[in-house]
Structure 1
C-alpha cells in the first residue's frame, strides 16, 4: 500500500479524482451555500447557478440543510437593516460635526447664513432618504419572501434532490445520535454544543449525508462555508482541508471517498474542471462572506470563554458593541474595564496590522485596550506593542489565542494576567 493510499485523508484529490466527484459523485451543499446567492451581486449569482445547474444530476441536499435554509432565509433577506444603520450613523455624526464647525463661522463674509443652511439641508435630505429606505424594510421583506427569484432557482434546481423529512421516530434517533457524538467529541457539532438553538444541526446534517452515501455508493463532495474547526483542518487561520476524522468515517461507514471545500474553492476548481471559469470578482465575494462568518464565529467563542470565567470566581460583564470605532466588546470585571478588539486573520499579525489596530482606538478611551487574535504577532509587530506600552498612556495588550490548537486554559491565563496588570496600572494612577 502506497503512502497516499494509507494516508489518503491528508491529501487533496488529484484533478482526475476531483473530476470523478463532479461527474459521478454526490455534490452536496450546506445551508450557508444555499443562502450565499442572497449576498452576491447578479453576475456572481449567475456564475454560481451556471455551475450548479451543469452539475444538477450530481446534487443532493440533506433535509437538515434545506430546513435550516428556510429558517434562516428571512434573517438574511432582512440583513439590509444593518446596512441602513451603518449609513445613517456616520451621516448624523457628520451633520453634528458640521453644525459645530459652522457655529465658529458666524458672521463670516464668505460663508453666509444662506450657504450654511444649504449645506446642512443637503445632509438632512440624505439622512431622510436613508431613514425612508430603513422604514420600508418590513414591506420589502414581505415582498421578498413572496417574490424571490433566488428561491425560484433553488426550487428548479433542487426538485427531487433533497433528503426526505425524517418522521418523529427517526428525528428523535438522529438527535440522540448527534448528542452522543457531541459528548464523545466526534466532529462535526462539538463547536455548537453551547449554541442552544439547533445545537445538533451540524451532527444531524453529517449523519444524513453518511446515510445517503451508503445508499448512493458514490464519492461525496460537500461544499460548506462553515469553517469551524469541527469541519475543517486549519493552520494559522488557513483552511487546509476537511477534518481527517470525517474522511475516515465516510470511508469506513459508507465505503466511499469524501472531500469538502469552501464555496470559493469549489467555484474556482469546479469552474476550471468543467471549463466554466468563474471571475476573480465572484471568488472575492464568496471569500469575503466566508471570512465574515469566520470572524463572527471567532467573536462568539471569545465571548463564551470570557463569560466562562464565572467558573473561576470572576464575574465579568460583557457588552457587545456595533460601532465603527474598532472596539467589539466592553468587559467589566472586578471594577476594571477592558475595551476588547477581536481580530480574526488568516496570516500572522504584521506590524502594519498592529499599527492600524492601535490607531483605530478612540483617543479618549478610558479602559485598558486588549486585542485578541487567532494568529501570532511577527517579531516586528511584538516590538511595536512593547514600545507602545512602555511610553504611552493607552497600553494595548495583544493576546494570541487559537481555539483549534490552544486549550481554553491558556486564554484564561492570558486574560487574567491582563486583568491583574490593569489593576496595578489603576492603582498607580497610570490610567482612569
Structure 2
C-alpha cells in the first residue's frame, strides 16, 4: 500500500516527461507485449525478400507475446494489393523524376551555352556525360522494377507474405471492440467540441473521418490488451506524426505525453513506441536473432517514406476507397487559386490537374477534388512579356527574394527586330503563395506584361 504522505522522485511522478532508457526498452522486448502497426505489415510488400524474411522471423520470435490489433489486421487485409501497386508505381515515379531532372540539367547547360560561358565542344562533352549518367540511373531503376518478386494479380488468390504471417499470427489477433465501445470512440473522435488531441487527428486533415478514426480505435484496442495482460506494451510503427509521438528538439523517442499518462492512469503501465529500424536493431541485441544491416537500412528508408515531397493539401471526394497517394500533375503544376480536377491512376493514386490543362482529357477517370490549404512548397510554370531585358534582369533577384522562390528554368524568347521578349519560367516557392499573389509581385517589375500560367512541358521543352 502506498503511503499518501511519502515522498517520491521526479522520474516516478513525471514519468511521461522522460524518454525510456535503453534498459527499459530491452526489458519490454524481453517480457512485454509486442504489437505492430499496419504500416509495418504493409512495408513487407516493399522490402527485398531477404529483409522481409528476417522481419517475419523476428515476429515469430516473440511467440505468445505478439499482439495484432483487430483494426491493424483489417487494414492490412484491405491494403495488401494497394501496397504492391503503390510500390510498382514508385518505379514509374522515379523514372519520371529522373527524366525531369535530366531536362533541368540540360536546360542549365543550354542557358550557359547561350550566354557563351561554354565553348561548343565543352558543351557537347558535358551533355554527353549528363546523358550517360541519367541513362545509367534509368537502367538501374528498370532493373530494380524487374527484380521485384510480387505480382498484383497473384496476390488476390495466393499471397506468399500473408501465407507466412498466418501461422505466426494465429491466436494473436485481437477481437474487435464491442459495438457500443466502438461507436462511443468514433463519436468522440468526430466531435467538433473536444479540445484534446487524439491518435488519428493528423490523418483527419487528409482522410475521411471514419478512416482517420481507425488510429484512435487501434489505441483503444492496445489499452484493452494491456489491461487484460497487465504488462507494458511496445507498439512498432513508422508513424511519427504529432498525434502519436512526443517530440523533443526533433527527436521522436516516446509516445505523446498525454498518451503515456492515459495508459498509466487506465492500465497502470507505460506504453512504448519504436520505429522499425530501431526495433530491428534492439531486437537483434536483446533476442540474439538474425537481423542484417541491409534489413535495418531498408526499414530506415521505409520510415522516411516513399513520397517525393510532402503530400499536397487536397481532399478527394466521392471515392469508395481512400487513394493511396495524391500528387499534383507535373504538366500544369496547379496551385491554390486554380480550378482543379482529379484523375485516378494505377495504384489507387489521384493526379490533380488544372481544369484547363491540355493533358487532363488524356488521363484516367475524373474524380472531384478541392484545396484544403496552401501548400508549404510549390512549383509553378509561368510566361510573361518583357519590354527591356536589362531592366528585368536587374530587378529579378529582388523579386525572387520577395517571392521566397528559386529559379529552376528561365528562358527568354525574342528576335533581334521584335520586342517585347517572352519569358518562360519554372519556379520553386519555399513559402505559401497563391497564383494571384505570384502574378502581382512579378507584375511590379517595370516593363513586365501580363503574367500567365503555362504548361510545365512547354517551359522544359523549349
TM-score, normalised via structure 1 length: 0.63
1:278-297 residue CA offsets vs partner (Å, 9 max, x unmatched): 3332222112222116877x
Aligned to 2:255: 242
1:366 partnered with 2:370? no
Aligned to 1:202: 215
Q: Specify the alignment match of 1:157 in structure 2.
A: 168
Given that 1:320 and 1:330 are in contact with CA atoms closer than 8 Å, whether structure 2 keeps it comes out as no
Structure 1 or 2: more strand by fraction: 2
2:328 counterpart residue number: 321
Work out whether 1:258 is the aligned partner of 2:268.
no
Once the two structures are TM-superposed, the CA of residue 147 in structure 1 deviates from its matched residue by: 1.6
Backbone CA RMSD of aligned residues: 4.4
Note the 1:4-403 alignment, pairs <5 A.
4-83=11-90, 85-86=92-93, 140-180=151-191, 183-194=194-205, 195-196=207-208, 197-234=210-247, 238-276=251-289, 278-292=291-305, 298-300=310-312, 302-303=313-314, 320-321=327-328, 323=330, 329-333=333-337, 365-366=381-382, 386=401, 396-399=428-431
- Give the length in aligned residue pairs: 330
Alpha-carbon distance, 1:389 to partner? 7.2
Judge conservation of contact 1:181–1:187 (CA < 8 Å) in 2: no
Over 3 Å counting, the alpha-carbon distance change for 1:167 and 1:250 in structure 2 is closer
Q: Is the 8 A contact 2:30 2:286 kept in 1?
A: no
Q: Is the 8 A contact 2:17 2:257 kept in 1?
A: yes
Distance 1:390 1:81 in 2: 33
Whole-angstrom CA distance in 2 between matches of 1:22 and 1:81: 34
Contact 2:281–2:296 (8 Å) recurs in 1: yes
User: When the two structures are superposed, what TM-score results if normalisation uses the length of structure 2?
Assistant: 0.60
Structure 2 CA distance for aligned equivalents of residues 91 and 397 of structure 1: 21
Match of residue 433 from structure 2: 415
Q: CA deviation at 1:82?
A: 1.4
Partner Cα separation in structure 2 for residue 224 and residue 390 of structure 1: 36
Bigger Rg, which one: 2
